[in-house]
């Protein structure tokens, strides 16, 4: 998946979430359930490869750990908020990736 695909999918997901009448916390819970369901599909798809299931499970665990670290270390980011408010998903993704690269010294997922 390239950055253009990332942007299009993220934009679609954010639009659906924004159109929901649920409180933000409930939307996050639904997204969490969706992530768990899709992660299970990915692990099952990985069964087609030798050691695929445990490798995919570990990849997902690293992804979750990186997300948890991002949340723990979060600080207010006015540029990020501005980009999201303007609907500039491409700009937001670039901003977040650049911040992640700067903070971690490596490329963001």
Q: Give the pLDDT score at 109.
A: 47
Would 108 be classed as within a structural domain? yes
Tally the domains of the chain.
2
Residue 94: half-sphere exposure toward Cβ, Cα within 13 Å? 6
Q: Give the pLDDT score at 25.
A: 96
Task: Assess whether 54 and 22 both reside in one domain.
Answer: yes
Would 6 be classed as within a structural domain? no
Distance CA 96, CA 46 (A): 29
- Give the predicted TM-score (pTM) of the model: 0.75
- The 3-state DSSP class for residue 72 equals helix
pLDDT tens digit sequence for 59-90: 999 999 999 998 998 888 999 999 989 989 88
Would 11 be classed as within a structural domain? no
Identify whether the C-beta of residue 83 lies closer than 8 Å to the C-beta of residue 98.
Answer: no
Would 4 be classed as within a structural domain? no
Would 92 be classed as within a structural domain? yes
Would 53 be classed as within a structural domain? yes
Task: Assess whether 107 and 82 both reside in one domain.
Answer: yes
Whether the CA torsion 102, 96, 83, 75 is positive or negative: it is negative
Would 9 be classed as within a structural domain? no
pLDDT tens digit sequence for 3-44: 677 888 988 998 999 899 999 999 999 999 999 999 999 999
Task: Assess whether 86 and 55 both reside in one domain.
Answer: no
Domain with 102, as residue range(s), is: 75-109
């Amino acid at each position: 998946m390239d950055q253009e695909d990332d942007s299009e999918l993220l934009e679609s997901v954010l639009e659906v979430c924004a159109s929901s009448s649920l409180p933000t916390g409930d939307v996050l819970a639904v997204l969490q359930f969706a992530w768990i369901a899709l992660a299970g599909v990915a692990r099952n798809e990985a069964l087609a490869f030798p050691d695929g299931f445990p490798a995919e499970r570990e990849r997902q665990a690293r992804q979750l750990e990186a997300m948890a670290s991002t949340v723990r270390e979060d600080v207010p980011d006015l540029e990020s908020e501005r980009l999201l408010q303007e609907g500039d998903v491409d700009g937001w993704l670039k901003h977040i990736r650049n911040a992640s690269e700067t903070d971690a010294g490596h490329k963001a997922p």
